[in-house]
Amino acid sequence: MSDIVNVDYSTRIPNNVNLTDDRQVLRALERWHPGYIDWWMTMGPDGFQEALVYLRTAVSIDPKGWAKFDYIKMPQYRWGILLAPQEESRKIPFGRHYGEPAWQEVPGEYRAMLRRLVVIQGDTEPASVEQQRHLGKTAPSLYDMRNVFQVNVEEGRHLWAMVYILQKYFGRDGREEAEQLLQRRSGDADKPRMLGAFNEATPDWLSFHMFTFFTDRDGKMQLESLAQSGFDPLSRTCRFMLTEEAHHMFVGETGIGRTIQRTCEAMKAAGIEDPSEINKVRDLGVIDLPTIQKKLHLHYSLSLDLFGSEVSTNAANAFNASLKGRFQETKIEDDHKLESSTYPVLKLVDGEIKRVDEPALTAINMRLRDDYTADCQRGLDRWNKIIDRVGVAFRFQLPHVAFHRQIGEFKEVDAAPSGELLDEAAWNSQKEKWLPSKDDGDFIQSLMRQVVEPGKFASWIAPPRVGIDNKPGDFEYVKLAA
Ligand SMILES: [Fe+2]
Ligand SMILES: [Fe+2]
């Protein structure tokens, strides 16, 4: 512990925001740092704080060489503060202030709204670390173990990124919010994290890969829309975070892809043609495809809830205020103010799901969610190609947006994955067909055994096609403490 406490963080915090000359912010960060380390030690990866992990660290913002790989103990990770380079004479790309010079300071009239956006984003970062803290103990390989730790330290860095914004631009309330970010806990009854999906458990590796595929992708969409912000420091912070976020989704997509591949190969080898022969497939020590589909239903629907209500005045206000834009705002061809345009929204009208044209301004969440769905679908298409290549008859499908929702238009109704509305009895009698049951969870759990021999993988997941940082297949990604 001693070298953790005595870290000289005026030099150990890599940053490109000139912290050494920004004494006040540096002092605020220094005061926050011990609490962060405390949080990391109690809520970060359980049992692996002494392990040497082959991690990448962000050391620059050069797109070609921003990261450096090395063995490091996680508590000594260099959580840096890195903003994408300032774009000369950047203009606000949307909203009421469209075309005005981007703000370098917080506009007084939007202070509260902006702080709330930063806090909500910031709260998700430590939450996922908390959700994933036990996964090291059941890692299917050292390669996968290293990946979860990489995601964890980077979510830690994303927390730093948001805390920097709070401490530099929001004075005393910013410092209080930064403190609160270390107090809330995922799943805690009294002090839960702010958003639903971040209070769910991540009990096994299939859940983890689903989480990084679906929920980190929600994170990507939120960061993309904040990267458009008229408040330039937030925009620059989010742009750099997106470079790291890409790896998190890679971990999810390839993790599930490798799981599917292993299942299909095992089925082929055993001569099982029918994917619904669940018990026979499970006897091979792999996860049957229908159960993977159920997990997909669960994680997709939880992640849709993160986008908020389809029609939302909060979202309209944030857009109007030029604080939070749309996905790839600058590539959209319209007035960027949404003064008169409409956007189609699926709504519940007289007990039926109907497409209704809403003012585009209030349908901002819906639009972002549609972009998200399209992005998810591309991943599913790649998974389906894996199944095709091995030659199994099965296809993964995203469920209808009305399925299993707790927020927005469809929270009061029950719908099948097809979108068919059901009465309560019909839902209750069939929901275990669509969502993971306790048995499914127990089965997945039964496969979760730690594999730590370099180059070896658990029965249920195929090896990756290439190593991290081009390392060979038997590379020792984690050196466990003796
Ligand atoms: Fe993140
Ligand atoms: Fe992430």
Share of the chain above pLDDT 90, in %: 89
Return the ∠ at Cα 116 (arms to 114 and 121), rounded to 5°.
100
* Gap from CA of 269 to ligand 1 centroid (Å): 39
The answer to whether residue 367 scores a pLDDT higher than 50 is yes
Residue 67 tokens read as 């990261």
Burial 239-263, CB ≥16 within 10 A → b, else e = bbbbbbbebbbebbbbbbbbbbbbb
3-state secondary structure of 481: coil
* Gap from CA of 237 to ligand 2 centroid (Å): 14
Q: How far is CA 330 from the centre of its chain?
A: 24
Give me the helices (H) in 23-132, please: 23-43, 111-131
Cα–Cα distances in Å, from 448 out to 203, 253, 286, 443, 444?
10, 19, 11, 9, 7
* Gap from CA of 166 to ligand 2 centroid (Å): 20
For residue 67, the model assigns a pLDDT of 81
DSSP symbols for 256-304? HHHHHHHHHHHHHHHT---TT-HHHHHTTTS--HHHHHHHHHHHHHHHH
What are φ and ψ of residue 458, in 5° steps? -65, 160
* Gap from CA of 413 to ligand 2 centroid (Å): 31
Cα–Cα distances in Å, from 139 out to 133, 135, 263, 324?
12, 6, 18, 37
Nearest-angstrom CA–CA distance, 114 and 298: 31
pTM: 0.95
Which residues touch 437 (CB under 8 Å, ≥6 apart)? none
* Gap from CA of 61 to ligand 1 centroid (Å): 17
Ligand nearest to the CA of 216: 2
Ligand nearest to the CA of 214: 2
List 56's β-bridge partners, or say none.
69
For residue 11, the model assigns a pLDDT of 54
Using one digit for the tens of pLDDT, what is the confidence trace for 270-311?
A: 999 999 999 999 999 999 999 999 999 999 999 999 999 999
Note every long-range contact of 315-318, with CB atoms under 8 Å and residues 24 or more positions apart, other chains counting: 315/362, 315/364, 315/365, 316/359, 316/361, 316/362, 316/364, 317/113, 318/113, 318/117, 318/364
For residue 6, the model assigns a pLDDT of 28
Ligand nearest to the CA of 157: 1
Cα–Cα distances in Å, from 377 out to 307, 394, 415?
17, 16, 20
Using one digit for the tens of pLDDT, what is the confidence trace for 217-242?
A: 999 999 999 999 999 999 999 999 99
Helix (H) or strand (E) holding 342: strand 342-349
Q: For the chain, what is the radius of gyration of the CA atoms?
A: 23
Nearest-angstrom CA–CA distance, 157 and 59: 12
* Gap from CA of 155 to ligand 2 centroid (Å): 6
For residue 129, the model assigns a pLDDT of 98
* Gap from CA of 247 to ligand 2 centroid (Å): 8
Using one digit for the tens of pLDDT, what is the confidence trace for 370-424?
A: 999 999 999 999 999 999 999 999 999 999 999 999 999 999 999 999 999 999 9
3-state secondary structure of 349: strand
Using one digit for the tens of pLDDT, what is the confidence trace for 6-39?
A: 223 455 677 888 888 898 999 899 899 999 999 9
